[in-house]
């Protein structure tokens, strides 16, 4: 299993749920046509930042998705979010670092 990790900057303040719906409607439809897709998630990592995590059965499918989806997202959402970075990695290499719980 491989993942496509993409970071974005939010350009227009809006409710995160509405932004997620916009991404799902505009980009999710394109992703649904890609082979090997297992699921995708969008996490708000800062007030103005998003991390998209897309999971695929194999590296070839993840590479193909990375090449197709970012240009589609940029053309559809360029007034809402700005592309920052992208990488394709084995899903097992993703490490989530929890925030320390502060009293």
CB atoms near residue 102 (< 10 Å): 4
- pLDDT recorded at residue 86: 92
Q: What are phi and psi of 102, to 5 degrees?
A: -100, 135
The pLDDT of residue 60 is: 94
Nearest residue to 54 via CA among 66, 67, 39: 39
- Domains within the chain, CATH numbers bracketed: 2-90 (3.30.70.100)
| Burial tier of 81 (Cβ tally within 10 Å: 0-12, 13-18, 19+) | buried
The pTM of this model reads 0.76
pLDDT tens figures, 13-72: 766 666 666 666 555 555 556 778 888 888 888 888 888 888 999 999 999 888 887 787
Strands ordered across the beta sheet of 37-46:
37-46, 49-56, 2-10, 81-90
Element at 71 (helix H, strand E): helix 59-77
């Amino acid at each position: 299993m491989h993942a496509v990790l993409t970071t974005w900057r939010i350009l227009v303040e809006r409710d995160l749920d509405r932004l997620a719906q916009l991404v799902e409607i505009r980009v999710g439809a394109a992703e649904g046509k890609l082979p090997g897709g297992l699921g995708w998630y969008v996490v708000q990592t800062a007030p103005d930042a998003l991390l998209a995590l897309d999971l695929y059965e194999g590296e070839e499918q993840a590479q193909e998705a990375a090449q197709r989806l970012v240009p589609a997202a940029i053309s559809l959402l360029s007034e809402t979010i700005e592309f920052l970075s992208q990488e394709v990695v084995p899903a097992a290499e993703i490490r989530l670092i929890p925030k320390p719980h502060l009293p």
